[in-house]
């Protein structure tokens, strides 16, 4: 059972970095730092969008409209932090 907890924790950790990458990429794209016509850049952006959008879209629907500010990645990161802490402080001691 500990292996399952570690695997879920690793998956959440990897997704954490995908969310950060998507947020940074969106800033770089919005401020025209990266060339959106470059096929490699477009592939990375599409990948990050497709990986993170299923989680971020429902969060965006629940949050109030803050103009041009999107805080859904921050909320998603907080949820992942909570889940990881819950795994190690509540679930893992019950399994031992």
**Pick from 80, 63, 83: nearest CA to 18:** 80
Q: Record the pTM.
A: 0.91
Q: Is the dihedral of CA 44, 45, 46, 50 positive or negative?
A: positive
Top-confidence residue, 69 or 17? 17
Which residues, including other chains, have CB under 8 Å from residue 29's CB and lie 6 or more apart? 36, 45
Instruction: Copy the structure tokens of residue 92.
Output: 């893992």
Distance CA 2, CA 68 (A): 42
* Interval 30-82: pLDDT, tens: 999 999 899 999 999 999 999 999 999 999 999 998 888 899 999 999 999 99
The whole-number pLDDT of residue 67 equals 86
For residue 96, name the pLDDT band (cuts at 50, 70, 90): confident
């Amino acid at each position: 059972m500990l292996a399952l907890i570690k695997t879920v924790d690793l998956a959440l950790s990897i997704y954490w970095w995908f969310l950060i990458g998507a947020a940074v990429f969106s800033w770089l794209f919005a401020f025209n730092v990266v060339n959106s016509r470059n096929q490699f850049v477009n592939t990375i952006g599409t990948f990050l969008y497709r990986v993170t959008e299923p989680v971020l879209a429902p969060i965006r629907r629940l949050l109030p409209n803050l103009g041009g500010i999107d805080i859904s990645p921050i909320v998603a990161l907080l949820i992942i932090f909570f889940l990881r802490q819950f795994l190690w402080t509540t679930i893992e001691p019950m399994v031992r």
